[in-house]
Structure 1
Amino acid sequence: MNPELFAAFFVGLFGSAHCLLMCGGMAGALQMLMPPSRARRSLLQLTLGLGRISSYALAGALFGGVGAAMVGSTGLLPQYLQLFAGLMLLAMALYISRLWFGLLKLEQAGKRLWRLVQPISQKLLPLDSPLKAYAYGLCWGYLPCGLVYSALSWSLGSGSAVNGALWMALFGLGTLPAVLLAGQAADLLRRLQQQQWLRFILAALLAAYAFQTIYLALRAVVF
């Protein structure tokens, strides 16, 4: 396995402040629709998260396969796809820091797909079984999200469907703690997310990885 794939986990982890803003309220609302038993709720929340990660992995496989086909059929250098991924991650860092909101346009475009999926997800409520929770998680993966779109851009240049799926699965795993905690302590986490210093730290970590990706891609192309 390519060691760089494990960077996906940290991209998800460092970018999960965005998950608190986008999904914190949703996670809290879903928790209210679960059985009152704490053990049962924990199982359903975990199954819900696994469904969302599975959705990301499927999308990563699709994008990874498409990227590999583009490289194989057109002779496109994979470094150009990696450069695109780095620029998208940089855009995500700027978005998290609230210095630039260009990714909102991508999220607006993604809402068209979500309008098709949302009615299906509503039929799965209340989440009173692991199967329904997993299926809802699969639907949740289509919620418009600039962070997810940035991660998918990396899977596009990952070289294969397998690498694309692994990248997105590890990315989703990185976002899992924030989403799980959002259901338990949504108010506290939302207050933390509003702290400017925290946003800048998370954005700086994402930007550092973005600049490294851009540098490596440019070095391979130029030299």
Structure 2
Amino acid sequence: MFTLTAFLLGFAGSFHCVGMCGPIALALPVQHLQGARKLAGIFLYNTGRISVYTLFGLLFGWLGQQLFLGGFQQWLSVTAGLILLFTVLVNYILSSRKFQFTMPGMMTTQVKAALGKLLVQQRFSTLFIIGVLNGLLPCGLVYMGITGAAATGTVEKGMLFMAAFGAGTLPAMAGAAWFGHLLSIGIRNKMRRLVPVMISIMAILLIMRGMNLGIPYISPVINQQHEKIFEHCFKP
């Protein structure tokens, strides 16, 4: 359930991604290529980007696992869900037509500078690194995904969650790089409206997960999960 939600969040948010990161996709050194080589270049770029998301899933899945073992997973899940719902509500109250999150990053300037240098070089061999740097740019939707990854409570599930999120962004981002443009602005705006819906669904799932309702996969009993993870991590 969480993996599907992550994929749909990535898919709905990818139209936001095209607006934010589309210029990078359009500037990739693949526009002069054709056929399999162009496809391979786009694959390399997106593999680099999704690899970073998966690494985030590993790191924050590990963090969530430590909180789980410490007995704080239930509170983390509920708190994360409430924060996401609050964020959606604030954006709704502000009547923002473009649902987007912006957070300043200390590394943003350096990452953008490195990206600029690589894009100017227009070399096929740099495509994977360009994707990696793109994945490091501050993005509110990625922050939402990271929250979900931490709430999964395990390293493996955290990685899978963020990999599914990245896979959801793939169709739109690959399309932007392949065609040089994507769907009409009207359709993109309609798809962007799905973002708060998907975030709300994820928030509700997080809250339910922390409520120990005994619902398999959606709200399993935390204590039972705690015992399984403890046995997995510390079995002789």
Calculate the TM-score normalised by the size of structure 1. Answer: 0.78
Tell me how far 1:86 sits from its aligned partner. 2.7
Correspondence for 2:234: none
Correspondence for 1:82: 77
Give the alignment's Cα RMSD to 1 decimal: 3.0
Tell me how far 1:29 sits from its aligned partner. 2.5
2:208 paired residue among 197, 202, 215: 215
C-alpha separation between the residues in 1 aligned to 2:43 and 2:89?
Answer: 30
Normalized per residue, which structure has more helix? Answer: 1
Structure 2 unaligned regions, length at least 5: 214-218, 222-236
2:133 aligned with 1:139: yes
Tell me how far 1:138 sits from its aligned partner. 0.8
The residue type equivalent to 1:136 in the other structure is: I
Asked if 1 retains the 8 angstrom alpha-carbon contact of 2:175 and 2:182, the reply is no
2:3 aligned with 1:9: no
CA distance change for structure 1 residues 179 and 187 in 2, over 3 Å: closer, same or farther? Answer: closer
Correspondence for 1:25: 23
Correspondence for 2:107: 113
Asked if 1 retains the 8 angstrom alpha-carbon contact of 2:8 and 2:165, the reply is yes
Calculate the TM-score normalised by the size of structure 2. Answer: 0.74
Tell me how far 1:87 sits from its aligned partner. 3.7
Asked if 2 retains the 8 angstrom alpha-carbon contact of 1:151 and 1:168, the reply is yes
Asked if 2 retains the 8 angstrom alpha-carbon contact of 1:45 and 1:180, the reply is yes
Whichever of the two has the greater Rg, that structure is 2
Q: What is the correspondence of 1:10-89 to structure 2 with a 5 Å cutoff?
A: 10-30=8-28, 33-34=29-30, 36-39=32-35, 40-72=37-69, 74-76=70-72, 78-87=73-82, 89=84
Q: What is the correspondence of 1:176-195 to structure 2 with a 5 Å cutoff?
A: 176-183=170-177, 184-186=179-181, 188-195=183-190
The residue type equivalent to 2:187 in the other structure is: L
| Over 4 Å off, 4+ runs | 91-98, 100-103
Identity percentage over the alignment?
31
Count how many residue pairs are aligned between Structure 1 and Structure 2. Answer: 210
Asked if 1 retains the 8 angstrom alpha-carbon contact of 2:3 and 2:160, the reply is yes
Structure 1 unaligned regions, length at least 5: none
C-alpha separation between the residues in 2 aligned to 1:91 and 1:219?
Answer: 22
Tell me how far 1:191 sits from its aligned partner. 4.0
C-alpha separation between the residues in 1 aligned to 2:77 and 2:9?
Answer: 15
C-alpha separation between the residues in 2 aligned to 1:162 and 1:37?
Answer: 37
CA distance change for structure 1 residues 187 and 54 in 2, over 3 Å: closer, same or farther? Answer: closer
Asked if 1 retains the 8 angstrom alpha-carbon contact of 2:10 and 2:168, the reply is yes
C-alpha separation between the residues in 1 aligned to 2:210 and 2:185?
Answer: 36
